[in-house]
Amino acid sequence: MLRFAGGHLVREACVGGELRSRATAIVGSTLSELADFCDVDLDANLDFGHDAPAVGDRTRPIQFDQVAAEALLRWYQIGAAALDQVITVASDCSPVQLWPEHFDVAIDLRTAGGRCNLGAAPADAFSPQPYLYVGPHGADRPGEQAYWNVTFGALLGAELVLADPDPVAAAVSFFAQGLRLLG
């Protein structure tokens, strides 16, 4: 398992029957060094869809804004916690995961109306701000038309989620409403 912890990439693995952790600093490391740390082959043919960015310069030291990274991590934590609650009542759904083509924390699940994606996106070409979304695979948008406020389904901006005293509950409510409407 890989995770982010205070500017470090942490790798946890079972070695000889025991869970072991190693960490390496992200800032100053190159993409090649981080890939080696994770045993990832950057030359492997991976197709994550049309929105996936190119690998980029493998030798350039990585720099990022720690405050922005922590804000993104907090957004992912809210999204993942809400999705964890959704999967306890949903059937036939994928694990909560970070999807590489959009860099969103999301699940794919079956509803009475067909398959649907639920997730927390960090921002993208569609929206410059983070948002939650409900994205039915089909064209049907049943029930409250005001809920279906974007071409791909429904969107709730981070500003509304984070303004709630319980952001996870606000996210769960948004997702649950979409699932109710989809049947």
Backbone angles phi, psi at 118, to 5 degrees: -125, 135
Q: Which residue, 23, 41, 64, sits at the end of a domain?
A: 64
Q: For the chain, how many helices (H) and strands (E)?
A: 4, 8
| Total number of domains in the chain | 2
Domain that holds residue 26: 2-64
H helix intervals, the chain? 31-38, 66-87, 158-163, 167-182
Q: Which residues of 57-93 are buried (b: 16+ CB within 10 A; e: fewer)?
A: eeeeeeeeeeeeeeebeebbebbbbbbeebeeebeeb
Whether 161 and 72 map to the same domain: the answer is yes
- In the chain (183 residues long), the average pLDDT of successive 10-residue segments reads 86 89 95 94 76 82 89 94 90 86 89 91 90 94 93 96 98 96 90
Whether 84 and 148 map to the same domain: the answer is yes
- The rounded distance, in Å, linking the Cα atoms of 136 and 49 is 18
Backbone angles phi, psi at 115, to 5 degrees: -80, 155
Tell me what pLDDT residue 79 has. Answer: 97
Q: Would the pTM of this model clear 0.85, i.e. be above it?
A: no
Cβ-proximal residues to 154 (8 Å cutoff; 6+ apart), any chain? 133, 134, 135, 147, 148, 174, 178
